[in-house]
């Protein structure tokens, strides 16, 4: 009996998330970040610290450190991989698209999200949405601090 397509997708997504948790991309710190951000979720103990190197309106490098559940840490890894090389505007647009997915948008631009699409299953568990969005909210705060410092 063939597996149901939804079950196959859930398994694929689970593997992507576990891969990013077990082998995080961009884990570490930058020697001289342009801007940093720290975020935490005191209800579950997730923590993330971001360092970004920004040149000419582009994120040329990004690193994260943190502790927490597989969802928060995988999401941080996936986010850093997705935003590296993007302009600030592109990173902010990706954040908005990701937020839409997390909070229930029916239409998803899978191509724009790439591996991030794997996290859409998290929205079935509202308490875990904060885990998935922690790094993104930290990014948003860091970019706001960067823009204020530029002004």
Q: Structural domain boundaries of the chain?
A: 5-150
The architecture (CATH level 2) of 5-150 comes to Alpha-Beta Complex (3.90)
Burial class from Cβ neighbours inside 10 Å (0-12, 13-18, 19+) for residue 125 reads exposed
Output the pTM of the full model. 0.89
Per-residue model confidence as pLDDT tens digits over 113-149: 888 888 888 888 888 999 999 999 999 999 999 999 8
- Name the nearest CA neighbour of 25 among 70, 82, 67: 82
């Amino acid at each position: 009996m063939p597996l149901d397509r939804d079950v196959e997708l859930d398994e694929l997504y689970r593997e992507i998330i576990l891969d990013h948790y077990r082998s995080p991309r961009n884990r570490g710190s930058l020697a001289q970040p342009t801007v940093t951000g720290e975020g935490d979720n005191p209800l579950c103990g997730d923590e993330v610290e971001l360092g970004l190197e920004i040149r000419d309106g582009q994120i040329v490098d990004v690193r994260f450190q943190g502790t927490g559940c597989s969802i928060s840490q995988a999401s941080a890894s996936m986010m850093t991989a997705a935003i590296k090389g993007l302009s600030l505007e592109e990173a902010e647009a990706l954040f908005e698209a990701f937020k839409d997915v997390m909070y229930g948008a029916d239409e998803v631009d899978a191509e724009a999200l790439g591996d991030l699409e794997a996290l859409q299953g998290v929205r079935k568990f509202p308490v875990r949405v904060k885990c998935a969005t922690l790094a993104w909210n930290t990014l948003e705060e860091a970019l706001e601090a960067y823009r204020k410092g530029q002004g």
